[in-house]
Amino acid sequence: MALMITDDCINCDVCEPECPNEAISEGEEIYEIDPNKCTECVGHYDEPQCQLVCPVDCIPLDPENEETHDELMDKYKRLTA
């Protein structure tokens, strides 16, 4: 499952540079995560790095983009090929 950023985002800019897939970008009002690039850091790290650094805990799983660990690993392989 990809991650998402909620309206609780304070635009602190700490999550964007932590994303190894460059899935996080500045949106019109808050930062956004591209579900086509988000692998929850599978293939890079044991935990999603954006969640670790977020000071307001506003990066939950995105229920609209459910994926298994194997699907996330396949996406990682496609993105890094």
Question: Domains along the chain?
Answer: 16-80 (3.30.70.20)
d(C-alpha 3, C-alpha 5), whole Å: 7
**CA 6-4-75 angle, 5° bins:** 175
Q: What pLDDT score does 43 carry? A: 96
Amino acid at 46: D
Q: What is the pLDDT of residue 1?
A: 75
Per residue of the chain (81 residues), give pLDDT as tens. 799 999 999 999 999 999 999 999 999 999 999 999 999 999 999 999 999 999 999 999 999 999 999 999 999 999 999
Separation between Cα atoms, residue 80 and residue 38, nearest integer Å: 12
Backbone phi, psi, residue 69, to 5°: -60, -40
DSSP state of 18: G
